[in-house]
Chains A and B, each alone.
Chain A
Amino acid sequence: MSDAGFVIHVATGETRAAASVDRWLIGNHVAVVRAEDPYAAVVSLCRETREPAMVVVGTDWLAISEHCLLSLIREKYPNALVAVYGGGIDEIAPNVAARLLRLGDGGALEEFLSRSFDEVCRHNLHEASVAMPGSAAPDDVEDGDRWSGRAVADLAQFEKLLESVAESSTLTPAEVATLLGEQKSPAS
């Protein structure tokens, strides 16, 4: 399994997309806590003591009254990357939760899944370290490039883009590509 930790996958998305996400996680050797519906997800949130590296939420079957799941996730895990995908994504109000990565139809999810898990998480780590003023970069980061000048430039771009699009609209594949860097890592 990846050193990056584990991922919570709320698989209320359309089955094919949910299976793609599962395959991507398995392919990247990531441990997954899978929740079949929002209620199972809340039970997992209540029970889970570890902090996941990422939470992925399929939105096809989320009722409007269940959109609060995203704010609950964000409250419990302020630093985790929360990515949402699926058909109901446009119905999620921008203010329901901060810093959501919205992967709608039209290839954004595919673009996201074409990256390696580490690559996706690395960018989020940068974002999280800045989101908490005064916090230092983790000492145990082995990847020296992670804190290089290029990464810092990426980070500024990442934040700018995230601020401009992620909270108000669904990302396009090009925006996902920009967010996650131009260079693709080979999928595991």
Chain B
Amino acid sequence: MIRPAAHWASEVEFQAGPGEARQAWAARGSSAFGESGARQIQERRTEWMASGIPVLVIGAESLRDALLRALPHVDLRWSDNPLQGVWLFGAAPCERVVLSAEIGAVLGRVIESLRQLAPDARIIVVGRPHLEPFARQMLQRGATDYALDPLARDEIQSLLGLAGDEPSKVRQPMHPAEPNPAAGSDAPTAGELAALGQILQSLGDGPRATLDRLCAWVAEAIGAAGVAIESESFTSSVGASREPFVQPIERAGRVVGRLEISGGTGDPPRLARRAAAYARLIDACMLQAREQQQLRDLASTDHLTGLKNRRYFEESLRSLVDRAAADRSSVTLLLFDIDDFKSYNDRFGYEVGDGLLREISVLLSGCCREQDVVARFGGDEFAVVFWDAQEPRVPGSTHPTAPTALAERFHRALTEHQFKCLGPHAPASVTISGGLASFPWDGRSAAELVRAAERALREAKGVGKNRIQIASGKPGE
């Protein structure tokens, strides 16, 4: 018998047999939801397991756990490896599949493969709000629908055809055993505190992501139909806005934002008290998230040019190459330096040399795309990592053309640019020599890619400078 490497989620919890399995589930539940909650989950799960509705989940463990909470009545199969997930589906097809949008570029192929095996399956893509455009694209590849984090139980049930009704306008709390927070005291519930703990742990993701999480957290905690938050230059909203209750967000007596709550449950004075408390928490979290980002920016920025520094470049390149290897996309590295840079320093002085580096940095940033990593490699050397969440590579793919075009555009712009720092006595033009190398064609790791780009740069120097040479060797050559 073929035994898939992935497994039934029920087997994870119930592998010791039904009796002990229930204990295992209860033990797990007791830590997350409290004793009474665990009992309720256990009873509900025992009852619902009998229905045996299989749902396949392909994505991270956190997605599986979120779905286990939202859909405790189904038999969840899970794999975090897309290929194994397709295999699992083929070995025992089911009618419902949830796919994480985080799978990346290969997601389209996963959907097409599942469709080939079961044309009528409900295939739902789930992802964070910033992945919505990508999730929408997946509809054209064969996905039935998509849902965005935070997952609302009613919504995911409806999308999977596990409930007869359309998704409720009012988001329901994910934790089945939690009491309705609006019905009790002002004190936060265990679930609220746990969710807040996760937000605090993820402040490093930056103010934008933090605000999105806070918005979803407030909506779920209050049971509101809609929540919108403005904090400094960021805004976030979930659900519908209708005659909202508005709570200013203040810092040191100054209004720095607003929290809007539509359709919140509970009496107005209580809602006002809670909203004021949430506003203070939101501001504290946003302040911390911003400070963390500033510290991170400081640690990753080259102070002279304002570009990313070498450490950031190396970490980014490694991570992008790993990602490209996993999702069969490409990464291109441009390394270049200024031809005869020393002569500018000797002739005009170091201050002018620094000015030249700064002007080139501005010019370079202007020629690159938002997602590209533009860095000062060291001295007068610069590096750009071009990457795309393109379609997966296929046999016969060649070097990507977009980075080559971008590099040539920069080269042209540089030639035509009048450098203010050099003044009226500047030489005819400032020129550069560079090397372009692409993963996986010219290197199979970040280090190999850098070596290939450096080789190409040396070749460009060797054949007369003022040009960008494309690496053409095999990896490791």
Contacts of A43 in B (CB 8 A): 86, 90, 113, 116-117
Complex: chain B residue closest to A91, CB-CB: B444
Contacts of A71 in B (CB 8 A): 5
A160 at the A/B interface (Cβ < 8 Å)?
no
B49 at the A/B interface (Cβ < 8 Å)?
no
A69 and B90: CB pair below 8 A? no
Complex-state Cα separation, A138 to B440, whole angstroms: 45
Minimum C-beta distance from B181 to chain A (A): 40
Given contacts A45-B87, A63-B326, contact A39 B395 (CB under 8 A): no
Q: Mark B318-332, 1 if CB is under 8 A from A, else 0.
A: 000000011110000
B81 and A42: CB pair below 8 A? no
Q: Mark A75-95, 1 if CB is under 8 A from B, else 0.
A: 110000000000110010000
A37 and B109: CB pair below 8 A? yes
B86 and A42: CB pair below 8 A? yes
Complex: chain A residue closest to B80, CB-CB: A65
B3 at the A/B interface (Cβ < 8 Å)?
yes
How many residues of chain B get a CB closer than 8 Å to chain A's CBs? 31
Minimum C-beta distance from A68 to chain B (A): 6
A39 and B86: CB pair below 8 A? yes
Complex-state Cα separation, A81 to B118, whole angstroms: 29
List B residues 98-114 near A (Cβ within 8 Å). 106, 109-110, 112-113
List A residues 128-157 near B (Cβ within 8 Å). none
Minimum C-beta distance from B400 to chain A (A): 15
A-B contact count (CB 8 A): 78
B82 and A65: CB pair below 8 A? yes
B117 and A46: CB pair below 8 A? yes
Complex-state Cα separation, A130 to B217, whole angstroms: 61
Given contacts A37-B392, A39-B109, A39-B112, contact A63 B87 (CB under 8 A): no
Complex: chain B residue closest to A64, CB-CB: B325
Given contacts A36-B394, A68-B81, contact A42 B328 (CB under 8 A): no
Complex: chain A residue closest to B392, CB-CB: A37
B83 at the A/B interface (Cβ < 8 Å)?
yes
Minimum C-beta distance from A97 to chain B (A): 11
Contacts of B7 in A (CB 8 A): none
A39 and B83: CB pair below 8 A? yes
Q: Mark B449-477, 1 if CB is under 8 A from A, else 0.
A: 00000000000000000000000001100
Contacts of B394 in A (CB 8 A): 36-37, 61
Point out the residue from A18, A42, A58, A76 that lies within 8 Å of B83, measured CB to CB: A42
B84 at the A/B interface (Cβ < 8 Å)?
yes
B183 at the A/B interface (Cβ < 8 Å)?
no
Minimum C-beta distance from B289 to chain A (A): 32
How many residues of chain A get a CB closer than 8 Å to chain B's CBs? 32
Interface hit among A8-16, A23-31, A168-176: A8-16
Q: Mark A32-56, 1 if CB is under 8 A from B, else 0.
A: 0000111110110111000000000
Contacts of B3 in A (CB 8 A): 75
Complex-state Cα separation, A87 to B474, whole angstroms: 10
Complex-state Cα separation, A14 to B475, whole angstroms: 14
B393 at the A/B interface (Cβ < 8 Å)?
yes
Given contacts A39-B109, A63-B326, contact A72 B87 (CB under 8 A): yes
Complex-state Cα separation, A42 to B117, whole angstroms: 10
Given contacts A42-B86, A42-B90, A75-B2, contact A63 B325 (CB under 8 A): yes
Point out the residue from A11, A39, A45, A91 that lies within 8 Å of B110, measured CB to CB: A39
Complex-state Cα separation, A13 to B327, whole angstroms: 16
Minimum C-beta distance from B173 to chain A (A): 34
A163 at the A/B interface (Cβ < 8 Å)?
no
B396 at the A/B interface (Cβ < 8 Å)?
yes
Given contacts A40-B113, A42-B90, A43-B117, contact A66 B83 (CB under 8 A): yes
Complex-state Cα separation, A88 to B295, whole angstroms: 40
Complex-state Cα separation, A1 to B233, whole angstroms: 70
A-B contact pairs, 11 of them (CB 8 A): A37-B395, A39-B86, A42-B83, A43-B86, A46-B86, A61-B395, A63-B106, A65-B81, A72-B5, A72-B84, A87-B474
* Interfacial residues, chain B to chain A (CB-CB below 8 A): 2-3, 5, 81-84, 86-87, 90-91, 106, 109-110, 112-113, 116-117, 325-328, 392-396, 440, 444, 474-475
* Interfacial residues, chain A to chain B (CB-CB below 8 A): 11-15, 18, 36-40, 42-43, 45-47, 58, 60-61, 63-66, 68-69, 71-72, 75-76, 87-88, 91
Known pairs A46-B91, A61-B394, A63-B106. 14 more at Cβ < 8 A?
Answer: A39-B86, A39-B109, A40-B113, A42-B87, A61-B328, A63-B327, A65-B82, A68-B84, A71-B5, A72-B87, A75-B3, A87-B444, A87-B474, A88-B444
